[in-house]
Amino acid sequence: MKFSYEPVCLKPKHTFKIAREEVEGDKFENVIIRLEHEGVTGWGEAAPFLIYGENQATVVAALETFRPLIEKWRDPWKAEKMMAELDGALEWNFAAKAGIDAALYDIQGKIAGLPLCSMLGLDPGDTPLSTFTIGIDTPEVVRSKVREVLDCPLLKIKLGGPADLEILRVIREEAPKASIRVDANCGWTPHKALAMIEELVDYGVEFVEQPLPPSEVEGMRWLHARSPLPLMADESCERLHHIPACVGQFDSINIKLAKCGGVRHALKMIGCARAHGLQIMLGCMLESSVLITAAAHISPLVDFADLDGAVLIANDPFSGMRFESGRMALPEGPGLGVIPR
């Protein structure tokens, strides 16, 4: 296979703040991946995330480590084994692996003449509604952001700052009927979290994502036994083998392709989460339409979607899944169905 990639700098429409300051930023440096097999092009994307020890440079280094293996690949239908080769060549580096994984699915779908969702037996009409994310900001900026997206029935609010409740009041004033999901991004302590969650009930919040840091296992068990709202794992559940420990701490998990290593791993996580009675959200990093669309293709398998990553950026280099007032419309073309702009 022919293999190339291009570092890209994705610019968010608004500065993106969450509770962990290291991911605050005004640009997101991803890598667009291109595989070519017998004239068929497969697109993928690596969305590195600092807290997993990845940035654009580590992605490039990982891809160069993978290059000699990838260039020997002759059959895109042996993808499971090929991806295992990459795992054998380099531990971790899941963003880079997720990008290759997506490109292989794109090639497979284009050869078979089928959208990825169809290859997996899924109905493109069954995508769940997606949330639209409102980042941490001053109450007045939050107010203007909410006004921009009043047609979206699901809002995800990043909390974990000093003005949390004031922000929620503003949102409820502006969007009295929207369903609100809260992401604390590890920003609370157990007692602070319980106090906050008890307040959140009054604002009609649907669930709370990652209230405590992943190391706070006992704190999460304590909180889970008391929380009046369902709790979702994000940082506590990166990959397949983290799922069993989520039982007793969380009610649901947030699966992200860049975090778990791609679609094939996400599918395994979905099966495992079902075995444990955990609900499932598909989430994203700040990503272009390439990786977002890959996730959207498997979204008919999950309960919740938080796949607004491409809508939040101003310079998306691809078209793919269209986000229409929270509804996710999959592209009709084969594979991922993404097209360079």
Positions touching a copy of itself (CB under 8 A) are: 77-81, 83, 104, 108, 112-114, 118-123, 126, 240-241, 243-244, 247, 264, 267-272, 274-277, 300-301
User: Is there a binding annotation on residue 151?
Assistant: no
Q: Which two tokens stand for residue 272?
A: 């495992």
Residues 6+ apart with CB under 8 A from 163: 138, 139
158 is annotated as an active-site residue: yes
* Torsional sign, CA 272, 274, 279, 284: positive
Instruction: Give the nearer residue to a copy of itself in terms of CB position, either 127 or 288.
Output: 127
Contact partners, residue 162, CB within 8 Å, separation at least 6: none
In DSSP notation, 144-193 reads HHHHHTTT-SEEEEE--STTHHHHHHHHHHH-TTSEEEEE-TT---HHHH
Q: 16 or 250: whose CB is closer to a copy of itself?
A: 250
Closer to a copy of itself by CB, 106 or 316: give it. 106
Residue 108 CA to residue 44 CA, distance in Å, equals 13
Active-site entry in 13, 158, 177, 192: 158
Catalytic pick from 145, 256, 259, 268?
A: 256
Could you give phi then psi for residue 90, rounded to 5 degrees?
-160, 125
- Least distance (Å) between residue 280 CB and a copy of itself: 12
* Nearest distance in Å: CB 246, a copy of itself: 10
The question of whether 145 is a catalytic residue gets the answer no
90 or 247: whose CB is closer to a copy of itself?
A: 247
Q: Judge whether 183 is annotated as a binding position.
A: yes
Work out how close the CB of 241 gets to a copy of itself at its nearest, in angstroms, rounded to a whole number. Answer: 5
Write down the least CB distance from residue 133 to a copy of itself, Å. Answer: 28
* Strand ranges for the chain from DSSP E: 2-10, 28-37, 40-46, 132-134, 154-158, 179-183, 205-209, 231-233, 252-256, 279-283, 304-305, 318-319, 322-324, 327-329, 339-340
Positions annotated as catalytic residues are 158, 256
Q: Which residues are annotated as a binding site for Mg(2+)?
A: 183, 209, 234
